């Protein structure tokens, strides 16, 4: 054969090295053992279904089963076996896809009930040459509902000379009525170490020189699929002209250097923004996909987290040599909360990077967030530091600082994350016996921080006239009553437009605020009568100004809480520490007060953290 004819006749590795017996099939020992025991005991099922991801050997396994069931041995006297001889007439014909009694059907292209009727019509005839007539249906989940129904009766009680073998990647799409009639085998993904070893043997047979690191990269990129891995190996051998090293494999696969990914994680945890962006941009310029880079960072974060739990995680085919030792050292210096936070940020950033118009820009912004959060103390630690007076002043890194996050103290490294603290209120501030808890939000330009303090409760305004002895004593009680009855519109009008002049049992006189509906008094009186079942008279006041509305009272109460929080010594210390911080919000956390925005929270001490 001429050189040109040899090139024309070239077969890709995935076809050239397709296993012809169970000894060559890798990663499916459990299935082989089950079939071996079934053949030896004569307990052969009439139908099998093979399921698993792409390229792991479903169709190949189906053909091997067909050869094993019909093999007659080299001497012509053999029986069904898991070790087909490969030389008898049946084995050779099945291997060459020309056996009359082994029929392979692609359900993706023949989905209809007519195709299944044609198959069923041939079931009743005996095999011509083989022991069994075998029907292999690939991608069986693509059959229509009517086709499945037409197959059910035959599948349940087939003739003794018929065997069905189904292959599918979508096992959940097959009706349970079909699955219940089959013996199911789940083909697992092949682990990366086994794939790398297998690819190395294939490379030797092809007289190709492929480094161990390159084999590991190809095995990792295959994601458990033997066919995908062989296709990548074929491409790598062609790419390197028979000599493949790790750098060539990375260039071909669009992967980042694993050592550089460890460098990237290291500088991120050190808070060095400029160097982190340089490494990212360098890998991007070399052809690495930003999405793949983030995936690598996720994988390394998971690996280092696993290292803290079990030392066996060091035996990872994707990480080898000095990188293992380095990863172990990095994991030893990092706490579990830091690794968990990094995982969550990377996971969210991965989705952003995939959806962003510019993947590299999204990846850079993710690294900036990671770097600022790298040395963030836990809220509990920060609470203790503030109470002990150990927080030093600082701020975000300036452009002139080279992009690194200053290491002057926790305050300087807080980035944009929020912390929560709890402290006690000084005694001099006038307050009721049980002062409510409050959540205080302090903003330092663009860096939000949250602190929980105790502030004096605003003075509750006495009823305008007499204290009503029953449930409704003031306008707040009326608002709560309407809230319970889901009178949203009327409740809003009461809050914003009713300035009570006189409040007594069964009587309310108020001065309407500007913008009040003209029929507010009539509507409120009618609704109170309906709810309470008692006579209520609601009138407008012609002359009296009236007390503030509920909305106005709440606003003044909020201002009082803000003022009290501003006077708190801890708040003063925080404002001095975080330059330019201002108090913008105080939330009442008293268990006695049901706030509209979320209800009451239990009191917390100085070490508790809330978000």
Question: Which pLDDT tens digit goes with each residue over 88-126?
Answer: 888 889 888 888 889 888 888 888 888 888 888 888 889
Task: Grade residue 352 by pLDDT with cuts at 50, 70 and 90.
Answer: very high
The answer to whether residues 331 and 304 touch, using CB atoms and an 8 Å cutoff, is: yes
* Among 63, 88, 77, CA closest to 163: 63
* Among 572, 575, 232, 257, CA closest to 426: 572
Q: Is the pLDDT of residue 608 over 90?
A: no
* Among 244, 219, 295, CA closest to 55: 219
Q: Is the pLDDT of residue 194 over 50?
A: yes
The pLDDT of residue 134 is 92
Domain 8-186 fold is Rossmann fold (3.40.50)
Q: Greater confidence, 79 or 452?
A: 79
Q: At what angle do helices 290-309 and 359-372 cross, to 10 degrees?
A: 30
Task: Grade residue 45 by pLDDT with cuts at 50, 70 and 90.
Answer: confident
Architecture of domain 475-547: 2-Layer Sandwich (3.30)
Task: Grade residue 391 by pLDDT with cuts at 50, 70 and 90.
Answer: low
Q: Taking residues 396-425, what's their average pLDDT?
A: 38
d(CA 502, CA 9): 102
Domains 192-253 and 258-372 agree in fold: no
Task: Grade residue 582 by pLDDT with cuts at 50, 70 and 90.
Answer: confident
The answer to whether residues 346 and 294 touch, using CB atoms and an 8 Å cutoff, is: yes
Q: Taking residues 378-400, what's their average pLDDT?
A: 55
Task: Grade residue 472 by pLDDT with cuts at 50, 70 and 90.
Answer: confident
The pLDDT of residue 162 is 92
Cβ neighbours for 315, distance < 8 A, ≥ 6 positions apart: none
Task: Grade residue 424 by pLDDT with cuts at 50, 70 and 90.
Answer: very low
Task: Grade residue 435 by pLDDT with cuts at 50, 70 and 90.
Answer: very low
Q: Is the pLDDT of residue 527 over 60?
A: yes
Task: Grade residue 470 by pLDDT with cuts at 50, 70 and 90.
Answer: low
d(CA 153, CA 461): 81
Architecture of domain 258-372: Up-down Bundle (1.20)
The pLDDT of residue 367 is 92
The pLDDT of residue 414 is 36
Out of 1.10.8.60, 1.10.10.10, 3.40.309.10, 1.20.1260.10, select the CATH number for domain 192-253. 1.10.8.60
Average pLDDT, rounded, for the chain:
77
* Among 480, 468, 456, 464, CA closest to 563: 456
Task: Grade residue 278 by pLDDT with cuts at 50, 70 and 90.
Answer: very high
Question: Which pLDDT tens digit goes with each residue over 501-511?
Answer: 888 888 888 88
DSSP symbol at 191:
P
Task: Grade residue 349 by pLDDT with cuts at 50, 70 and 90.
Answer: very high
The pLDDT of residue 287 is 80
Q: At what angle do helices 359-372 and 336-355 cross, to 10 degrees?
A: 160
Lowest-confidence pick of 344-358, 401-415, 434-448 = 401-415
The domain spans of the chain are 8-186, 192-253, 258-372, 475-547
Task: Grade residue 360 by pLDDT with cuts at 50, 70 and 90.
Answer: very high
d(CA 608, CA 383): 9
* Among 172, 171, 137, CA closest to 154: 137
Question: Which pLDDT tens digit goes with each residue over 30-43?
Answer: 888 888 888 777 78
Lowest-confidence pick of 221-230, 432-441, 513-522, 593-602 = 593-602
Q: Is the pLDDT of residue 571 over 50?
A: yes
Task: Grade residue 315 by pLDDT with cuts at 50, 70 and 90.
Answer: low
Lowest-confidence pick of 309-313, 489-493, 542-546, 570-574 = 309-313
Q: What share of the chain is helix, strand, coil (3-state, %, to 5)?
A: 50, 10, 40
d(CA 368, CA 283): 17
Q: Is the pLDDT of residue 416 over 60?
A: no
Q: Is the pLDDT of residue 288 over 50?
A: yes
Question: Averaging pLDDT over each range in 16-25, 362-371, 472-481, 596-605, which range is the top one?
Answer: 362-371
Which tokens belong to 524?
A: 């409120």
Question: Averaging pLDDT over each range in 162-171, 237-246, 397-406, which range is the top one?
Answer: 162-171
The pLDDT of residue 167 is 92
Q: For the chain, how many residues are written?
A: 611
What's phi and psi for 16, nearest 5 deg? -65, -35
The pLDDT of residue 319 is 57
d(CA 451, CA 382): 11
Share of the chain above pLDDT 70, in %: 76
Lowest-confidence pick of 528-532, 538-542, 557-561, 584-588 = 584-588
Which tokens belong to 571?
A: 């708040």
The pLDDT of residue 277 is 92
Q: Taking residues 269-276, what's their average pLDDT?
A: 89
Q: Is the pLDDT of residue 589 over 80?
A: no
């Amino acid at each position: 054969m001429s050189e040109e004819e040899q090139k024309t006749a070239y077969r890709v590795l995935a076809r050239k090295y397709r296993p012809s017996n169970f000894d060559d099939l890798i990663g499916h020992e459990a299935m082989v053992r089950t079939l071996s025991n079934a053949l030896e005991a004569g307990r052969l099922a009439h139908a099998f279904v093979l399921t698993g991801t792409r390229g792991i050997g479903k169709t190949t396994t189906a053909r091997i089963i067909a050869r094993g069931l019909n093999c007659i041995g080299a001497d012509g006297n053999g029986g069904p076996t898991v070790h087909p001889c490969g030389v008898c007439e049946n084995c050779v014909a099945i291997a060459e896809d020309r056996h009359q009694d082994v029929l392979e059907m692609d359900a993706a292209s023949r989905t209809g009930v007519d195709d299944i009727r044609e198959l069923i019509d041939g079931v009743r005839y005996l095999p011509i040459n083989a022991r069994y007539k075998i029907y292999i249906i690939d991608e069986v989940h693509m059959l229509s509902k009517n086709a499945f129904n037409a197959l059910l009766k035959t599948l349940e009680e087939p003739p003794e000379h018929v065997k069905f073998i189904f292959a599918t990647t979508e096992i959940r799409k097959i009706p349970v009525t079909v699955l219940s009639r089959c013996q199911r085998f789940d083909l697992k993904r092949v682990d990366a170490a086994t794939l790398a070893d297998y690819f190395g043997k294939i490379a030797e047979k092809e007289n190709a020189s492929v480094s161990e690191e390159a084999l590991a990269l190809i095995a990792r990129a295959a994601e458990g699929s033997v066919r995908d891995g062989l296709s990548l190996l074929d491409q790598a051998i062609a790419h390197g002209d028979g000599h493949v090293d790790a750098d060539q494999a990375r260039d071909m696969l669009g992967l980042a250097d694993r050592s550089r990914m460890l460098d990237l994680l290291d500088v991120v945890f050190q808070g060095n923004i400029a160097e982190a962006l340089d490494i990212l941009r360098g890998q991007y310029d070399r052809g690495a996909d930003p999405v793949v880079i983030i995936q690598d960072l996720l994988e390394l974060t998971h690996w280092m987290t696993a290292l803290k739990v079990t030392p066996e995680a060091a035996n990872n085919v994707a990480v080898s040599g000095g990188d293992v030792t380095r990863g172990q050292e990095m994991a030893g210096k990092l706490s579990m909360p830091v690794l968990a936070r990094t995982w969550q940020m990377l996971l969210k950033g991965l989705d952003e990077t995939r959806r962003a118009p510019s993947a590299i820009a999204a990846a850079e912004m993710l690294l900036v967030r990671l770097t600022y959060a790298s040395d963030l103390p836990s809220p509990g630690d920060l609470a203790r530091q503030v109470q002990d007076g150990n927080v030093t002043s600082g701020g975000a890194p300036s452009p002139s600082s080279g992009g690194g996050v200053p290491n002057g103290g926790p305050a300087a490294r807080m980035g944009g994350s929020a912390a929560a603290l709890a402290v006690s209120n000084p005694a001099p501030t006038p307050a009721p016996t049980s002062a409510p808890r409050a959540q205080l939000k302090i903003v330092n330009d663009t860096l939000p921080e949250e602190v929980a303090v105790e502030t004096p409760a605003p003075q509750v305004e006495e009823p305008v006239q007499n204290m009503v002895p029953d449930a409704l004593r003031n306008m707040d009680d009326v608002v709560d009553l309407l809230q319970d009855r889901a009178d949203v519109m009327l409740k809003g009008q009461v809050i914003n437009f009713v300035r009570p002049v006189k409040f007594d049992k069964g009587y309310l006189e108020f001065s309407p605020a500007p913008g009040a509906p003209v029929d507010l008094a009539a509507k409120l009186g009618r609704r109170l009568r309906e709810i309470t079942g008692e006579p209520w008279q609601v009138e407008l006041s012609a002359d009296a100004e009236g007390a503030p509305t509920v909305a106005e009272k709440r606003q003044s109460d909020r201002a009082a809480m803000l003022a009290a929080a501003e006077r708190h010594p801890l708040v003063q210390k925080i404002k001095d520490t975080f330059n330019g911080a201002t108090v913008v919000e105080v939330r009442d956390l008293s268990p006695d007060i049901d706030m509209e925005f979320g209800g009451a929270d239990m009191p917390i001490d100085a070490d508790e953290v809330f978000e």
